[in-house]
Amino acid sequence: MSKGMENLFKPGDIGTLKLKNRVVFSPCETLYATVDGQVTQRIIDYYVRRAEGGAGMLMTHTVQGCTKIDTNDPFAHSLRIDDNAYVPMLSELTEAVHRAGSKIAVLVSPGSGAQSMGFPYDRGLEGITEPLNVGASERQSNVAQRKVRRLSVDEIKDLVKIYGLGAARAKNAGFDAIAIHALGGYLVAQFLSPLFNDRDDEYGKDFDGRMRLLLELVEACQQNAGPDFPIIVRISIDEFVEGGRGVEESVKMVKRLEEAGVSAIDAHAGIYDSMHFIIPPVFLPKGVLVDLAAAVKAEAKIPVIAQGRLYDPELGESVLEEGKADFIGMARGLLADPDWVIKVQEGRVEELRRCTSCNQCIGRIFIGLPVRCAINPTVGRESQFGATLPKAEKTKKVCIVGAGPAGMEAARVAAERGHKVKLFEKTGELGGGQLHLATMAPFKEEFKNIVRYYESQFKKLKNLEVALNCEVDAAALEKEKPDAVILATGGEALVPDIKGIDSKNVVTNHDLLEGGAAVSGKVVVAGGGCAGVGSADLLSEKGVDVTVVEMVEQCALDEELITRLTLLHRLGEKQNVTLLNNHIVKEITDKGVRVETPEKEEILLDADHVVVAFGAVPYNPLGEIADKFKDCQIIGDTVKPGKILHAVEDGFYAGLKV
């Protein structure tokens, strides 16, 4: 066991449920279910992989409990438990997880209410007719912005009854506990919150009225699944919005839940208006929600699960050691590395593939795509790829040019499969140009963990040679006599044909991040995508006055939603940053940047320096050699600049293909 990590691996209890350690795999929507809400083999393999990795308990992503009351599916492909037809496959899931050595709780929601951004469970109605969202009141969500129908008392009574039947199904299906979804401003949370609940009947008026639905759901679970079936409540301790529920009242609610027989509290935060607390991006500190768990722990006797970027084992251990919580929860950390628990327990912390909090996982869910991980390409593909990769039928000599994310992953996979691999990198360190630049932006030092992971893997692979400070040409490659070649030379800054762009006062964002460009005074950043706003953030931290010029209606549209909104809010609070949307750069002069306004007028933005941040284009100096090798793959940004997710996936499949 890792020295100093004893608390993480102590057994723990949640009611009658005994867990082998203190690590909980928290819910993360997958979109792997059938369109009707059935468990699939893909879901089973996904959870089993985390169970095999050593997590003490897994908590499923949201399972819908009352689809005839709240008729809008928050996500296409949500799991369901509101009919006996779903029990057989749910039982296949629990049996498989138990065989893999973990416990499993089911997170059941009666609905997403006013915050639903999904579509009817009756498929195919989008654009024809759509049912209203339902809620505690007619109060609309600022994010969903949909009309809301207030649930009647009779409907609420039916909802409670249906939910209780779901608890019985959960127990019959073999789940070890049920978690009530009272988090994030969804339906139960709306009844709890003064922001949404303005009812004047028994389910509103005051504190007791707002708590009534949740307490009745607890009672319905006890009546249908038995008093010994553990109940966990997953709840926002602070909604972090004006007019919402804060810590003091939430702790009071927790004490009432404890009296009602709830077995544990999963202490979380936020609603859609404060979504960055539900899934904290890189701009929020590690352990950002731990104090909320500690506030509950100080008043309640039942176990508390802490949340909030806890995938660094040292941090998780300290939370437990200091008595701030009884368990630590993480979703993204176990997406990135399902073997997190085993590696930490065996003292292999340096081998962790640590989450970067890039939120590409949840970002895909928001646009209706199945969950993936930017740095672990096997997420969602566990049915194809387990803990080990298939060995190559024939050993080859593989030369890979470029040690960015694509090249490093290709090298790792090819070497693990048994090939003899030589990885060339023209700079003096792993990571390549693009990844190195990414680590230079504010808060992006997390990306250094990607390189650390590959360094740990390369040390173990004796059939992999890394050649740094080695820029190869066609002749050098031919001299190596490889059986296969992979070109992963990455990208370079896009410098469009704009008048004056070659002026002395112009630098690229690549030059800026490298630290080789002296930029001061008034600065205009040309381009408001990820590259541009990241550059503006960096410059603003140095006290520089920055104006970002973006030709479309919003900045950072190429960024994941939560990260984007958090960054734009961060920039919006800075007095030295101005964002100009719908403006087109026409010319750069020694006095500044001439731009076209939305009204088609041309104005001059004064600037001492101009940072060009229009993104990247492929850099492929060896493209002409592709035909010289029978087996030559071109991958990653060398083909089309994109996210790390796409580069790593390209590298993974290239390594499998050779």
Give the model confidence (pLDDT) of 328-364 as tens digits.
999 999 999 999 999 999 999 999 999 999 999 999 9
What mean pLDDT is reported for the chain? 95
pLDDT of residue 440: 83
Residue 30 Ramachandran class (φ > 0 left, ψ -120 to 50 alpha, else beta): alpha
Sign of the CA dihedral with 82 first, then 84, 85, and 90 last: positive
Residue 444 CA, chain-centre distance (Å), reads 15
pLDDT of residue 128: 84
Q: Which two tokens stand for residue 34?
A: 């059938």
The phi and psi torsions of 494 (rounded to 5 degrees) equal -80, 125
pLDDT of residue 516: 65
State the amino acid at position 171 in one-letter form. K
Which of residues 432 and 191 earns the better pLDDT score?
191
The phi and psi torsions of 530 (rounded to 5 degrees) equal -55, -45
> Percentage of residues in the chain with pLDDT exceeding 90?
90
Contact 116, 133 (CB under 8 A): yes
For residue 459, is pLDDT > 70? Answer: yes
pLDDT of residue 519: 87
Q: Within a 10 A sphere around the Cβ of 627, how many other Cβ atoms? A: 8
Kindly report the CATH class assigned to 6-366.
alpha beta
Confidence of residue 110 (pLDDT cuts 50, 70, 90): very high
pLDDT of residue 438: 83
Equal CATH topology for 397-493+618-657 and 506-614: no
pTM: predicted TM-score of the whole model, two decimal places: 0.95
pLDDT of residue 619: 95
Indicate the range of 105-119, 121-135, 591-605 predicted with least confidence.
121-135
Cα(133)–Cα(139) distance, integer angstroms: 10
For residue 517, is pLDDT > 80? Answer: no
Confidence of residue 523 (pLDDT cuts 50, 70, 90): very high
For residue 2, is pLDDT > 80? Answer: no
Q: CB neighbours of 590 closer than 8 A, spacing ≥ 6?
A: 503, 504, 505
For the chain, domain boundaries: 6-366, 397-493+618-657, 506-614
pLDDT of residue 127: 82
The CATH label, of 3.40.50.2000, 3.10.129.10, 3.50.50.60, 3.40.1190.20, for the domain at 506-614 is 3.50.50.60
Cα(372)–Cα(359) distance, integer angstroms: 10
For residue 522, the surrounding DSSP H or E stretch is strand 522-526
Contact 289, 271 (CB under 8 A): no
pLDDT of residue 592: 95
Contact 512, 538 (CB under 8 A): yes
Closest CA to 486 of 639, 378, 374: 639
Confidence of residue 433 (pLDDT cuts 50, 70, 90): confident
Catalytic positions: 186
Beta-sheet pairing, 119-120 with 72-73 = antiparallel
pLDDT of residue 1: 60
pLDDT of residue 627: 83
Superfamily designation of domain 397-493+618-657? NAD(P)-binding Rossmann-like Domain (3.40.50.720)
